[in-house]
Each structure stands twice: as C-alpha cells, then as structure tokens.
Structure 1
Amino acid sequence: HKHKELMPDEIYKIFQDEYVNIETPYKLIDFLLKKEPDGTRSGTVEVEIDGKHETFDARGNGRLDAVSNAIQRELGVTYKDLTYSEHALELGQSSRAMAYIGITGKDGKVTWGAGMDTDIITASIQALFSAVNRMKAGK
C-alpha cells in the first residue's frame, strides 16, 4: 500500500502482526498435559473466550494433538491436514523458538499461524491457536 520497497523491520512487523501469537477470538492461557501409561497425553487446556476463562479436557497421541483435539471438540472448529515446522530464533538455553502451523479448513483453504515462545511446545500450541484464530477471521 505504501508503493515503496519495504525494509526488513517493516516486513518483520507485518509478519508479527498478521501471524504470530494471534489471540482473538481464542486466547491460550495455559495447558497441563501428562503422559499416560498407554503413551497418550491427557490433561487440560485453559482458554479465554470473550474475556471468559474456559477449561477443556484434552487427550491425544502427543501434546499438540491433545490440544488440537480439544480445540476442535470444544470450540466447534473443523480442520484437517495439520502441517508443522519449527526452528530456534537464537542460540543458547534462553533462545526463543518459532513454530509454524498450517491447517486445512472444510473449504480446502490452508490457513497458517505462527507461535513464538522460549518453550517449543508452547510456541507450537500458540501457532495452532494463531492458525485457528486466523481461520475464524477468514484470513
């Protein structure tokens, strides 16, 4: 829209605003998942919806799958073909991780979201919430 070449910091800001840790209409508050004897993960996911806290039961073959199952069941969101990628943003123990998730809606459209956190699992779940929120917004 500016009819000019964008600088790297401008591109980064657009990416952050459009894809990373998108928190509306569903905001991830926390999750607690443990490994069951059969190898699955189960626990809870705490979500804020329109200022109200909700806690959902979660179960799946891994932490991301458990949260994905809870989102689809409890929020009535339907998607398939979850695509996932991650990488570190810096070196060292306190580095941040970036995760990217693409989900395919009922209409066949793929929607992407990104999550950033110092914990890769949290970044992955944030990316899933970002993708779901972007899908709900029609982006």
Structure 2
Amino acid sequence: GYQYMKESGTDYWEIPYLPIDPADVGREYEPIIRINSQSGKGGAAFVMSNNFGYDLPKRMHPEFSKLVQAKCEALERELIPKELFEVFEQNYLEHPMKYTLTRRKIYEESEFGKDYVHFKGRMKLDDGTELKLQGTGNGPIDAFFNALKSVGIDKYEFISYSQHAISQGSDSKAVSYIELRKPDGKNIFGIGIDANVNVASVLGVLNAINRAEATE
C-alpha cells in the first residue's frame, strides 16, 4: 500500500491495516511495523527498502517472507531491522557457493547489423575443479546462460530480472534480483551486487544457482 501511494502520488491514505498516517500523530512508520512469524509479505520488504535500500521485487516477497518467518519461529520472538538484514545476508549475500567466478569478461560485438554479447571466464567448483566458460547471447544474462550450458549446467530456466542502484555517486553499485525455475518446477531468487550492471546480473544468476544447489 505504501509503495502504491508513493508511485501513484495519491493524496488519500490507503494503507491496509493502518487507518491513519503515523506522521499525522507525530509518529514514524518503522516502530509500527512488526516483523514476526505472522507478518505479511510486505512488512519485511518495506523494512528492507526503507532501512537498507534494497527494493525486493514483489515476486520475491513470498520467498523472503518464509525465511523471515522461519527465523522468528526459531527465536520465538519478533525481529528488529538489524536481525532482518542478517536473514537477508545469510541467505543471499553470504550463502555457501558451489560455483565461484574467478575470472569474467563481458563485451559487446556487432556483426552484419546484429548486436551480440559475449561472456568469457573461469569458474571454480567447491571441490577445486576449474571450468572455462564461453558463451554468446542477446544480452549478458543470455550469454552467461549459454556459457553455463557449455559446461553442462543447463537445468535452470530464467524467469525474471530486476535491478536498481543501492548507492549514489561515482562509486555506486547495482543490485540485481534474478528469478530462476529449478528442475522441480519451483522458483528461486538470487542476488548479485557489483559496480558494473552486467556483472551484477551474472552474479545474480550464479547466486540463484548456488542457492538452488544447496537445497537439493
């Protein structure tokens, strides 16, 4: 509801379960939003956006909400914003990796009036094996998917993508949210962060695959 009001510019207060604007009575939003095992999907996403600058796509809300609810149930209490971000970090930013990119190069090329994106790199497996990656596509994500297919990683389907900046200035970074479909038909999200938007997308794909591999 808050995001809708922000985007639509409406003057009417239309937030579900919150009959008045807290600012009208000298309050702020943060203390009112409770993050517990019964919280709705939007509460945790609001805190991630408002407190930490991560605008989780709506399709990702159910997945993240389940992780938050599991943490609340394990602790048997509500989470404060810092703990909410720790759930995000542990499940996305610091997740154990089966695959790690050790080298990467993404570049564009035009040929006969068509534009192509090429990906070249090396990837290390958790057993120490190193693979050479090379693929071409109509964009960085497509090129990386084709590079993965060249080494037999071809069981994931690309579903959705969104991206935004998480800092400002010349040293700003982009965060990419990548949704993939696993062989079992269930979807899973990955996150990539880098100063280069194309690299952030590639890292997001690999993050989703690493998370999927860990749950198998």
Distance of 1:98 and 1:6 partners within structure 2: 24
Deviation at 1:20, TM superposition (A): 2.5
- 1:82–1:22 distance in 2 versus 1, CA, 3 Å: farther
| Contact in 2 for aligned 1:98/1:116 (Cα 8 Å) | yes
Query: What is the aligned partner in structure 1 of residue 167 from structure 2?
Result: 90
Q: Specify which structure has the higher proportion of strand.
A: 1
| Contact in 2 for aligned 1:21/1:130 (Cα 8 Å) | no
Query: What is the aligned partner in structure 1 of residue 200 from structure 2?
Result: 123
Residue 41 of structure 1, aligned match among 113, 117, 120: 117
TM (norm. structure 1) is 0.88
Query: What is the aligned partner in structure 1 of residue 93 from structure 2?
Result: 20
Moved more, 77-86 or 21-30: 21-30
SS of the aligned residue for 1:57 comes to: strand
Deviation at 1:23, TM superposition (A): 5.5
Residue 191 of structure 2, aligned match among 109, 114, 119: 114
RMSD over aligned CA atoms reads 1.8
Amino acid at match of 2:168: L
| Contact in 2 for aligned 1:96/1:117 (Cα 8 Å) | yes
- What pairs up with 1:71-86 in 2 under 5 angstroms? 71-86=148-163
Query: What is the aligned partner in structure 2 of residue 99 from structure 1?
Result: 176
Distance of 1:63 and 1:113 partners within structure 2: 16
- How many residue pairs were aligned? 139
Deviation at 1:75, TM superposition (A): 3.5
SS of the aligned residue for 1:40 comes to: strand
Query: What is the aligned partner in structure 1 of residue 133 from structure 2?
Result: 56
TM (norm. structure 2) is 0.59
Query: What is the aligned partner in structure 2 of residue 135 from structure 1?
Result: 212
Deviation at 1:15, TM superposition (A): 0.7
- 1:32–1:128 distance in 2 versus 1, CA, 3 Å: same
| Contact in 1 for aligned 2:106/2:198 (Cα 8 Å) | no
Superimposed CA distance per residue, residues 57-84 of structure 1 (whole angstroms, 9 cap, x where no aligned partner): 1111112210111113314331224310
| Contact in 2 for aligned 1:115/1:127 (Cα 8 Å) | yes
Moved more, 90-99 or 73-82: 73-82
Amino acid at match of 2:190: G
Identity of aligned residues (%): 29
| Contact in 2 for aligned 1:31/1:43 (Cα 8 Å) | yes
SS of the aligned residue for 1:84 comes to: strand
Q: Specify which structure has the higher proportion of helix.
A: 2
Give the unaligned 5+ runs of structure 2. 1-73
Superimposed CA distance per residue, residues 37-95 of structure 1 (whole angstroms, 9 cap, x where no aligned partner): 23112241211112233211111111221011111331433122431011111121212
